[in-house]
Amino acid sequence: MEDSKININWFPGHMAKAFRSMEKEINLVDVIIYVLDSRAPFSCINPKFTTLVGNKPIVYVFNKYDIGKKSIVDEWMRYFKKENSLCIAMDSTASGTGKKIENAIRELSADKIEKYRLKNMNCTLRAMVIGVPNSGKSTLINNLCGKAKTITGDKPGVTKGKQWVKIASGIELLDMPGTLWPSFDNNIVARHLAYIGSIREEVLDIPELAMAFISDIRSLDKSILENRYNISISDESNLEVLEKICESRKFVVRGGDYDYDRGCATIITDFKQGRMGAITLESPQDIKSLTKKDKKEKKDV
């Protein structure tokens, strides 16, 4: 199906400030905890973080594993796992799952721990938690702490400033605001981030986004929509699929017309909330399309 173009421009001031803060704090930490949404792992990789992180050991946390397609997420974990990194799949809302993170931090900091042990000294391990908005960073930290120490929410941009918290004996975490990048060179990545809730809905055209989502999900697996909304899809247009969804859910307004706005909002919300089942929008086989820069439209001078 034809690639659906959506225009996204959301880079609030606190994100620019967060990058400057990360640059100042990066030398203080031993490990980076990189939180990725299992539904779009590659799209969650912020290009601006690559230079910032450098050679720091990384724990890639594939969060929301419960609503991602496990076989595909496992492929991504094999892709990301390198000599100086570990990959962990988890649902950060599940109680007690944070122990894996503690063990990973200690494993990647083994040299520092041994150095201090030989001097009969205790050492404090510090990790910075980074990721795109709404990836579940603060929820993960609260899980590690066993209680709410950071502010959480189901909207992007809840964490506005850095927060240091202790999670275990000798381990401290620095929670940074979820951060995007000033502009998107790849429209597929932009759409995926919008679908998973990393971009505030207030700056999005929800009907436009929903139509793009219908197109993308039909290409991925049309049965996802068929099963969720009890409809059948063959060669209808995306608009006709939306109308079928509205009809199935009885989204109509006075006069019998379809309530398109309600139908579009429902589709996006259902996906964000995991109501469509286990879905991962991208696989390692898609890297070429995910990294290809969109052609800039020529403008008349």
Q: Which of 129, 158, 160 is nearest to 143 (CA)?
A: 129
Assessment of whether the complete model's pTM goes beyond 0.85: yes
pLDDT computed for residue 149 by the predictor: 56
* Domain CATH for 150: 3.40.50.300
pLDDT computed for residue 155 by the predictor: 46
The answer to whether 3 and 99 are in contact (CB under 8 A) is: no
Same domain, 53 and 86: yes
Number of domain units in the chain: 2
Of 144, 175, 206, which residue is a domain's last? 175
pLDDT computed for residue 153 by the predictor: 44
CA dist., res. 74 & res. 68, Å (int): 10
Residue that wins the pLDDT comparison between 19 and 160:
19
Give the model confidence (pLDDT) of 72-99 as tens digits: 999 999 999 988 899 999 998 887 778 8
Same domain, 201 and 244: yes
Using pLDDT thresholds of 50, 70 and 90, give the confidence band for residue 293. Answer: confident
Of 175, 208, 242, which residue is a domain's last? 175
Q: Which of 128, 115, 137, 173 is nearest to 22 (CA)?
A: 128
User: Could you count the other beta carbons within 10 Å of the beta carbon of residue 128?
Assistant: 22
Residue that wins the pLDDT comparison between 28 and 17:
28
For 42, the domain range is 13-175
Q: Look at residue 54 and tell me whether its pLDDT is greater than 70.
A: yes
Residue 203 maps to a domain: yes
The first and second tokens of residue 189, run together, are 């990545």
Of 109, 142, 175, which residue is a domain's last? 175
Same domain, 54 and 145: yes
Q: Look at residue 163 and tell me whether its pLDDT is greater than 80.
A: no
Residue 298 maps to a domain: no
The answer to whether 113 and 123 are in contact (CB under 8 A) is: yes
